[in-house]
Structure 1
Amino acid sequence: MPQTGYIYVPAPSKENLEIGLNAGLWGWRSSALDRAGARHAVRRLVKGDFLLLGHRGPNSRVAPGGWADAVLQRVIIAQISRPLFDATDRVWPDDTYPERIGIDVLDEESDVGSTSLGADAMEALRLSANKQGAAVVTAGAAAVASLAAGLPPVQDQHVADDLDHDGDTSAVAQVLVRREQQKLRRALIRGRATTTCGFCGRTLPSRFIRAAHIKRRSQASRQERLNVSNIIPACLIGCDELFEHGYIYVTTDGTIAAGPRSSATSDLKQIADTLAGRVVGDFGTHRAEFFRWHREHTASIGA
């Protein structure tokens, strides 16, 4: 059974929160974990467990249950990618925070309260706020599941992107990753009825277009995942699969080329060759580094 760690991040730590999310890390001063078994609680968190970070809530110096009607301006849901470890390299500007965990951010929502999370989760966050941000760990993932189940839809219910997530098979994690990708798709499609594929150039009903990561999501930082320059419209008629698995790639000048893997069968090579020589849609310096990563890691073509 997965566990959930609850961490409250106060308003003055906004910069540290952003740095940690972008670095895929969260850390504590050792003094914060020296108290009342806090380090033992964090050590219980293993890879695949959930972490729920709350930010900008009301005064925590209230009686137990005093956050039953509270609203948090930000709630971030992540999974543990690396259990507690020690490091001394400087990540945050104000302190080392040497006791750290690795995190994979799944989703972020605003204005979240007990209606979505439940009273127990809100109380855990209140307790964390009163423990210098030490994690309060509970068995199960009921609050995360409740939040995921209650989120409003992002896009047309008939559109369902394939899941770009190399993590575990947790149904809750898949819901949240899909929601992230749907937000990116909405930003890319912008409500248009039709969209042009960036590879074959065919204009199709938008339901036939996937918002495809150029640099694979599992290998991208949080900033890269959310960067629309790392997203390209790819049609489900074939271009999405061809690009994702390296059968085609994009050269340094923006031209599509058939990759070595496309020679698996003569028919596959013929399909890839029909795209070769085309200039990919919206190619420019903002996408060049992402295409370089794809060439080297997915299509296995050197720079």
Structure 2
Amino acid sequence: MGKLKAYKSRGEYKGEPIYPHKHKDGTYVASPSRFEVDYVYVDTEDELEALVRSGLGARMSSPDIKQAASLISANNIALTDSSSPPVVAKTVLPKLSEEVDLDFDSTTKSRKEQAFLRAHISGGRLQATCVLCENEYPLEFLVAAHIKKRSECSKSEKLDFDNIN
């Protein structure tokens, strides 16, 4: 196995070692969150190590455990091979830039009401108060969100500006 290793933290296999999960297409996944939209696909364990050292989590699994891969946070991943120098992001990127195009095409959906909600809660100001921490921030750092899952909201609920922010 490679240099990255973690252990199952709960369930039937608690304490069992897990390693970077290699997907069917040969890639590994690093991510700052469990959401697939945030996944960073890399081709080698060295690239994955660099992203883990930078603070991203990694999808990990074990060939001996028949469970789906889990996203493990960077602070729960051990680096098992200390004999070679650490792989860090700035050493991987130049090599990577020679191998592949650094730009990729993507298609995303955006929430049309987001800009209108920000304008509504700010009252036209360039800053607004975060309802969670009560600190003042520039509008571009704030996200208007629903307590109820947006996908379960009716159109009228999505547009009920006074009750969703």
Higher strand share: 1
Alignment TM-score > 0.5, same fold? no
**TM-score where L is the length of structure 2:** 0.31
**TM-score where L is the length of structure 1:** 0.18
Higher helix share: 1
Task: Give the structure with higher Rg (CA).
Answer: 1
